[in-house]
């Protein structure tokens, strides 16, 4: 055997001995090892969370709505007249989705002891906690899906502030009061607007606050609703102003209808922000350095002949035939 071969053989033997030598390499962990110290504690915590989230419901802890009715006769009567009795017809889910215990939790301990602390009472819950119990059933739809991020809940106004399962004044939606009185109980700042000479007919009952606002939350400012085309909610009624137009009036797309109109009510015709339509137009169409819109021509001297811009610019919301809105 040559010297080179002997050298290579010695190197190979040393490498093999180094691999199997004690302490030369860290022991491999198997998939079922728990680990030690903090790692083992983390594993135990994760397993505890999984076990808690997948904990099976014990049907023996649920006594059914008929048992609740033996003591709570008044609440049972209003419950039967509302929509929640239909939960008893749902046979696809367990008892935790049916009857009184769908909201108040398992009632066996409470029924046996009559201890009010052994049942979920909405009066003792925070607005967020009580609303989450309602959303356990009601969150699966566009109307209620954004309530947890809504302005109402962020201001500590929950489901139970507007709705009452057991003593509603409006049975259809289990409301504590009819609109708009229910909304006015908090939004006093807008109540006088609906008594002005020109207003949306909310007090008369022709439209409701919730026709324009989604009280359960949304993605637009003021919790406003939108059309099916995701345009401004005004276009649900004022469809002739929606367009599309070949020549659009820019503020409608950039600022919205509220650039010129006050939505709730006004002392001015057509809910305008100013008493004179020219004053509304001149808020943008003025000769200034940073004017966002073309200035009014010099011959528009605001004499009687030009006191109403809309006498000539009749298609002020947009036009398909004239770029200066002389014709629709």
- CA neighbours within 13 Å on the CB side: how many for 130? 19
pLDDT tens-digit profile of 207-220? 999 999 999 998 88
pTM of the model: 0.73
pLDDT tens-digit profile of 228-243? 777 889 998 999 898 8
The Cα–Cα gap between 70 and 63 comes to 12
Strand partners, 175: 163, 170
> 89, 116, 91: which is closest to 104 by C-alpha?
116
SS3 255: coil
- Reading the block at residue 90, the tokens are 């749902």
pLDDT tens-digit profile of 58-112? 888 999 888 999 999 889 888 888 899 888 888 888 888 989 999 999 999 999 9
pLDDT tens-digit profile of 2-36? 555 666 666 666 556 554 444 444 444 444 444 44
The Cα–Cα gap between 137 and 96 comes to 11
């Amino acid at each position: 055997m040559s010297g080179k071969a002997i050298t290579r053989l010695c190197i190979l033997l040393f490498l093999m001995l180094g691999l199997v030598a004690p302490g030369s390499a860290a022991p491999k962990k198997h998939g079922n090892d728990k680990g030690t110290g903090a790692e083992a504690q983390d594993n135990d915590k994760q397993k505890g969370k999984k076990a808690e989230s997948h904990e099976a419901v014990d049907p023996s802890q649920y006594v059914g709505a008929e048992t609740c009715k033996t003591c709570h006769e008044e609440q049972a009567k209003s419950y039967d007249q509302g929509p929640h009795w239909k939960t008893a017809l749902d046979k696809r889910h367990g008892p935790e989705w049916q009857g009184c215990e769908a909201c108040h939790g398992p009632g066996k301990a409470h029924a046996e002891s009559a201890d009010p602390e052994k049942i979920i009472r909405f009066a003792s819950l925070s607005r967020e906690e009580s609303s989450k119990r309602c959303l356990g059933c009601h969150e699966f739809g566009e109307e209620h899906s954004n309530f947890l991020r809504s302005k109402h809940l962020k201001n500590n106004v929950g489901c139970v502030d507007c709705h009452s399962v057991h003593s509603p004044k409006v049975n259809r939606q289990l409301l504590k009061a009819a609109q708009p009185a229910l909304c006015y109980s908090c939004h006093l700042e807008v109540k006088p607007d609906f008594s002005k000479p020109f207003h949306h007919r909310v007090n008369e009952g022709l439209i409701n606050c919730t026709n324009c606002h989604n009280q359960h939350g949304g993605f637009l400012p003021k919790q406003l609703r939108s059309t099916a085309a995701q345009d401004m909610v005004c276009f649900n009624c004022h469809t002739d102003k929606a367009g599309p137009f070949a020549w659009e009036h820019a503020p409608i797309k950039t600022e919205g209808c509220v650039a010129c109109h006050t939505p709730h009510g006004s002392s001015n015709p057509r809910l305008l922000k100013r008493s004179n339509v020219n004053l509304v137009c001149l808020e943008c169409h003025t000769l200034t350095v940073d004017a966002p819109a073309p200035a009014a021509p010099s011959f528009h001297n605001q004499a009687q002949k030009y006191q109403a811009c809309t006498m000539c610019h009749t298609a002020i919301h947009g036009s398909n035939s004239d770029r200066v809105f002389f014709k629709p």
